[in-house]
Structure 1
Amino acid sequence: MTLQELLERYPQRASSGVPDWMLGYFRRRAISFANGQTDTTTTVCWIQSRTFTIDLRLPIAQAQPPHREWVDYLPAELEVLANYEGWAADSEWTGETLSWHGESSLQLHNRWPEPALLQRVGNCMIEFAPSGAYVEDWRLQPSPPGPLIGLRLIEERDLDTGVRRHRGGGLIICGDHAALVLGRADDLIPHSASGLLCDEVAEAAGDAERLAHLFNFETSVASGSITTGYRVEHSTCPARVGQILCPLDGFEYLPDSHQVVQQLTIEGSRCERRFAVDTIEAAISFKQTTGFSEDAAAWYDHESPTLTRYTEPHY
């Protein structure tokens, strides 16, 4: 069945998770650090389902190396690729802070260990690090009301050989936006003393097999629709940009295990992805507004001649 048919036949909402104002696709507008420095340039994407998050962090497009065979990458290009960030992790909301655990990550260490103190006004969600190290300004990306589908990837296997291709990750559909994470097939055993991905990659330069193993991971963010498909706009895998995120058919719901399987063809191989269901919801409103209290609305109306002189949407 198609993803749309899955949505229509087996709708279900997670019994817990983040509040509605946190759902959807957010882009980071800025991060400001305690030392007075601010970054407004790095491409950072946050896609949120009910109980798990997908995150992607990349340098500007001009600094991203093109797709090459692994043996053809220059050391400087490999260094850039080794500093990409992409992950999927369970998210736990306490009513004030959001924390993450059980992540499937391209990096081999956790670069963002602090929980998030979060508050949203309009389309702006502010995240404070409890330590005071930084504050981030996130903006909800526009989308008309649409589906919210969260599927945690258990594994992807080649059906002909039985070989596991990926383990961990997930797929999130949120209106006009979508994201996919495919974790490494197996735990990675570090060769370098530091155990950092950048050092692992530097030592593996020219070794196509080792580099393929190190980079057997994908985080991709896409836009489109559940009827026409989603095309990748940002990815840890250079070759994936411009491609279809994933097929929208081949799905089967397994009620006894609360799982979804998808059969698909990848580079000529018959494969199967097995997912655990987080949530399957037909209609979520990704509102750009959070509303005013009665007193605040009266203040805004009274002072609007100056408050609204230069206002416009920012995403």
Structure 2
Amino acid sequence: MHLIHDILARLPISDLTQCALPHYLLGAFRRKSITFFNGLTDEDTIVYWFQSKSFSIDLRLSDAHNTSIYDRQGWIGDTLWDEKNQLLSWHIEQSYQPRTQWPEPAKLYPIGNCILEFAPSGAYVEDWRQQATTGLFLGLRLKQVEHMATQQQYKMEGGLIISGQHIAMVQSRLPEIEEKFTHIADLRKAAQQHIHDDDINSYEVSIALGSDEIRYSTISEHIGTAINLDQFELLQNGQLRQQKLLHGTEYFFYYELDFYSPDFHFIGQSPASVDAIAWSKREQQHLFEHAKIVT
């Protein structure tokens, strides 16, 4: 059965009040720029961040088609919100890279459809733009996979987030492949230690924008193909199971529902004081003459 056409109507709608994260963080975000403490600014690296209730998906590519397999970045991680200090951080068990490249928590400020992320150390500030407006919001977190022939089960990292018309999915390396990276911090060193490029490049993070067709991915061969939303079933315990191929072998993928809303309104404006609104109306002729929504 198809996830969207056959399964969604049977899922319980999530209670937004049970989400600990500030609601402006939910959705799909494109990084417009990053500015570093030394004055350098990067506006060209492809970076997307999808946020569900309790986990996030991240993809970073210096070039859509020509990023070296040793330099690609992507991960899925538990999202941790420090209410007292208003800091966002992530717990990442496995990522495409065998080391943590972005260790700092984030100090976040929403303004309009933009989220400014400041590194507390002063290392950088990132400008993120919300891509979603309204529509389906779904987060599924992979809990385990099962080899269909042997019924052996494995713990793998993975998940799926649908934010409006945009989709992000993650599928980590198989455990026996991931073990090869245990004492390696640099993927080029992995290659020097005779870890095959196919093993390095078997961690998938794929992003589809405006449809289910993959626009960006850690696996170049998947660009232009569709994210697989078929062969799902809803189990009695509330989990969702999908049958799919992994390295040419049939597996069951078991997901838990993280968040579901059939018609979610993603936040694209931020609060302002009465005086600020009055000022903007009073001065709108020169303030908004060339202004437009940038995503």
The answer, yes or no, to whether TM exceeds 0.5 is yes
Equivalent positions of 1:83-232 (< 5 A) are 83-95=71-83, 96-141=86-131, 143-162=132-151, 167-186=156-175, 187-190=178-181, 195-204=185-194, 210-225=196-211, 230-232=212-214
User: Which of the residues 215, 235, 260 maps onto 1:233?
Assistant: 215
- Could you tell me how far apart the structure 1 residues matched to 2:3 and 2:60 are? 27
Unaligned stretches of 5+ residues in structure 1: 65-79
Q: Which moved more, 1:4-13 or 1:237-246?
A: 4-13
- For the residue of structure 1 that corresponds to 2:213, the secondary structure is strand
Q: Which residue of 2 aligns with 1:279?
A: 259
Aligned-pair CA distance for 1:40? 0.8
- Could you tell me how far apart the structure 2 residues matched to 1:261 and 1:124 are? 35
Q: Which residue of 2 aligns with 1:73?
A: none
Indicate whether 1:60 and 2:48 are aligned.
Answer: no
- Could you tell me how far apart the structure 1 residues matched to 2:116 and 2:182 are? 39
Q: Which residue of 2 aligns with 1:75?
A: none
- Could you tell me how far apart the structure 1 residues matched to 2:243 and 2:60 are? 29
| Alignment coverage as a number of residue pairs | 288
- For the residue of structure 2 that corresponds to 1:61, the secondary structure is coil
- Could you tell me how far apart the structure 1 residues matched to 2:41 and 2:35 are? 4
- Could you tell me how far apart the structure 1 residues matched to 2:220 and 2:151 are? 27
The answer on whether the counterparts of 1:148 and 1:281 sit within 8 Å (CA) in structure 2 is: yes
RMSD across aligned positions (CA): 2.2
- Could you tell me how far apart the structure 2 residues matched to 1:18 and 1:128 are? 17
The answer on whether the counterparts of 2:145 and 2:251 sit within 8 Å (CA) in structure 1 is: yes
Aligned-pair CA distance for 1:99? 0.7
The answer on whether the counterparts of 1:191 and 1:200 sit within 8 Å (CA) in structure 2 is: no
- Could you tell me how far apart the structure 1 residues matched to 2:153 and 2:40 are? 44
Residue 282 of structure 1 aligns with an amino acid whose one-letter code is: P
Residue 33 of structure 2 aligns with an amino acid whose one-letter code is: A
Q: Which residue of 1 aligns with 2:250?
A: 270
- Could you tell me how far apart the structure 2 residues matched to 1:49 and 1:237 are? 23
Q: Which residue of 1 aligns with 2:13?
A: 12
The Cα offsets for residues 237-256 of structure 1, whole Å up to 9 and x where unpaired, read as: 0100000011x232222343
- Could you tell me how far apart the structure 2 residues matched to 1:269 and 1:183 are? 15
- For the residue of structure 1 that corresponds to 2:266, the secondary structure is coil
Q: Which moved more, 1:296-305 or 1:98-107?
A: 98-107
Aligned-pair CA distance for 1:8? 1.3
Residue 215 of structure 2 aligns with an amino acid whose one-letter code is: E
